[in-house]
């Protein structure tokens, strides 16, 4: 829904100019986990996608710059048809409406996952860009803090004891080190089933504007430990092995063993899923988007599983099992 009459007037004028006054209509299709809103623009000859991205909330230059970087690498991404960065309007080619998420019940799931994983060496090989923010120690730690601030403190009302504060600091330190000591490559950073689309030109990528140089396992974690879909264990293990062998053949693993890669993969996932579960709470509390609440428990199940595998994180597994998850279930009852 367009938020004001003035915004609608601006949007109409932008489209009229871009489409050279030909008749058009548009309808809202979705918003993502940000302040953006998307519309499908319908004309007599073709459909397009309008991204309404308010400049007072979002810097849209990285989207445009990284779109060019990804396209030049041979990846399928939406084409930028027209833009007005002062107003925050970007008109894109329409990639259709079928995401990988819509195909996960098909018998072709494993083969399709493999073709999607085949994109990772291509993404990883994209040269560092001026549009990529530093993914450094401070930023990685800040991401982990989202869980503590938004899920524990703001949503559940939990204040960390002195002992748990010490544990938490140690956890942050370990995860930051693990992510920085891996081979650093370009990563999409939100490479999951809702951001990968099936098109006539192959698998296409959307929501790439947060791409950075970071740990080699990160995008594989995003896909194979998707917050919106849980792979059966046997399929997960098969695909993780496939991912490792693929990246090794491309000489991106720096002679890393599969066992070492699994260690990096699991702990990178721990960082990502702590962040994601905190973001789902932030979307609810700050942005009034309660649709993501249903993804908190599946996401934390990944956290719990990893913590039970490593003695140094057993305290978090116990805390999740005894206090945090029961409190979340109580909070979710009136919301879902």
Least Cα distance to 24 among 11, 7, 35 occurs for 11
CB 193 within 8 A of CB 101: yes
DSSP string computed for 210-263? T-EEEETTHHHHHHHT-TT----HHHHHHHHHHHHHHHHHTT-STT--HHHHHH
Q: Which one-letter DSSP state was computed for residue 276?
A: H
Region of 158 please: left (phi>0), alpha (psi -120 to 50) or beta. Answer: beta
The pLDDT tens digits along the chain (336 residues) read 445 678 899 999 999 999 987 889 999 987 666 788 899 999 988 899 999 998 898 899 999 999 999 999 999 999 999 999 999 999 999 999 999 999 999 999 999 999 999 999 999 999 999 999 999 999 999 999 999 999 999 999 999 999 999 999 999 999 999 999 999 999 999 999 999 999 999 999 999 999 999 999 999 999 999 999 999 999 999 999 999 999 999 999 999 999 999 999 999 999 999 999 999 999 999 999 999 999 999 999 999 999 999 999 999 999 999 999 999 999 998 866
Hey, what are 171's tokens? 């956890």
Dist. CA 25–CA 19, nearest whole Å: 11
CB-CB contact of 217 with 263 (8 Å): no
Give residue 1's pLDDT. Answer: 45
Going 303 to 172 to 287 to 84, the CA torsion angle's sign is negative
Predicted local confidence at residue 292, as pLDDT: 94
- Give dist(CA 152, CA 277) in Å, integer: 10
For 298, counting Cβ atoms within 10 Å of its Cβ (0-12 exposed, 13-18 middle, 19+ buried), the class is middle
Give the gyration radius of the chain's Cα atoms: 21
Q: Give the Cα separation of 83 and 89 in Å (integer).
A: 6
Measured over the CA atoms of residue 149, residue 155, residue 156 and residue 157, the dihedral's sign is: positive
The domains found in the chain, sorted by start residue, are: 5-93 (3.30.200.20), 100-332 (3.90.1200.10)
């Amino acid at each position: 829904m367009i938020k004001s009459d003035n915004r609608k007037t601006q949007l109409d004028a932008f489209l009229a100019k871009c489409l050279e006054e030909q008749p058009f209509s548009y309808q809202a299709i979705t918003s993502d986990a940000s302040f953006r809103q998307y519309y499908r623009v319908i004309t007599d000859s073709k459909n397009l996608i309008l991204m309404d991205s308010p400049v007072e909330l979002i810097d849209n230059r990285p989207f445009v710059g990284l779109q060019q970087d990804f396209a030049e690498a041979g990846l399928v991404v939406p084409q930028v048809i027209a833009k007005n960065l002062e107003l925050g309007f970007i008109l894109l080619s329409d990639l259709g409406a079928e995401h990988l998420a819509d195909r996960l019940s098909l018998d072709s799931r494993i083969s399709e996952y493999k073709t999607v994983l085949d994109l990772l060496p291509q993404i990883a090989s994209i040269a560092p860009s001026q549009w990529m923010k530093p993914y450094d120690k401070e930023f990685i730690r800040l991401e982990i803090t989202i869980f503590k601030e938004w899920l524990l403190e703001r949503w559940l009302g939990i204040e960390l004891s002195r002992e748990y504060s010490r544990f938490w600091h140690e956890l942050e330190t370990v995860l930051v080190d693990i992510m920085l000591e891996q081979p650093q490559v370009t990563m999409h950073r939100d490479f999951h089933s809702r951001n990968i689309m099936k098109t006539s030109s192959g698998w296409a990528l959307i929501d790439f504007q947060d791409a950075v140089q970071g740990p080699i396992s990160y995008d594989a974690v995003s896909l194979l430990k998707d917050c919106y879909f849980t792979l059966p264990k046997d399929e997960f293990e098969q695909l993780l092995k496939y991912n490792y062998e693929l990246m090794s053949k491309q000489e991106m693993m720096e002679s890393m063993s599969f066992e070492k890669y699994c260690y990096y993969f699991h702990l990178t996932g721990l960082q990502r899923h702590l962040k994601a579960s905190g973001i789902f709470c932030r979307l609810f509390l700050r942005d009034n988007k309660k649709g993501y609440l249903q993804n908190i428990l599946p996401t934390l199940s990944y956290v719990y599983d990893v913590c039970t595998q490593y003695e140094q994180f057993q305290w978090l597994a116990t805390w999740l099992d005894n206090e945090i998850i029961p409190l979340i279930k109580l909070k979710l009852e009136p919301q879902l």
